[in-house]
Amino acid sequence: MTLLVMIFWILAGATLQVVIPAWQHMGQPAFPFLLAGVLYVAVNKKPVYFVLTALLSGLLEDSLSLVPLGYSACAFLVAGWLAWRLRHDFHMRRAHMVMGLGAICAAASTGTLALLLRLQGSVMLSRNECLLRMAGAAVLAAVLAPVWFWLIRGMERLLGTWEDRA
């Protein structure tokens, strides 16, 4: 059942990420629906689920964009690993804590993706452009992550798949 819930949120996140246009300010970052799902799984589920979610979400995001396959998956793995490492330092039932975690991880994911694209020679963002995009992604994730966590947790409670980790 957990796998089906994850797949639902991956598909919902991908759909919303394609339908909602990128934010026109702060480097034009996309709304991080898929990343928020990866972070939720990294914080609340077993590591194997987090790795699977990061890989599937990353490949789906890359297939819907011009980024080479696997780059977003690598960025999601970095961000998810960071969330997994910090999960005990943040109280995930408090919105401001989820906002902080989402902002940190979105900046890390965006920075990782920018670095990978720069190393390949695909995109040459200046340091200021990269920092601006990382800041924009952090702001969007800070707003979106608490809502996404609340929605996923609510669906899990409704379906009876929520595992309280308190």
The contacts of residue 66 (CB under 8 Å, 6+ apart) are: none
Question: pLDDT tens digit string along 29-79?
Answer: 888 999 999 999 999 888 899 999 999 999 999 998 888 999 999 999 999
Rounded Cα–Cα distance for residues 75 and 105 (Å): 10
**Structural contact between residues 102 and 39, judged by C-beta atoms closer than 8 angstroms:** yes
**Domain extents in the chain:** 2-17+35-159
Nearest to 115 by CA among 157, 79, 151: 79
Fill in the DSSP letter of residue 99.
Answer: H
Helix (H) or strand (E) run with residue 81 in it: helix 71-86
**Exposure of 49 by Cβ count < 10 A (0-12 exposed, 13-18 middle, 19+ buried)?**
middle
* pLDDT bucket at 164, cuts 50 / 70 / 90: low
Helix (H) or strand (E) run with residue 58 in it: helix 47-63
Question: pLDDT tens digit string along 93-142?
Answer: 788 889 999 999 999 999 999 999 989 887 777 889 889 999 999 999 99
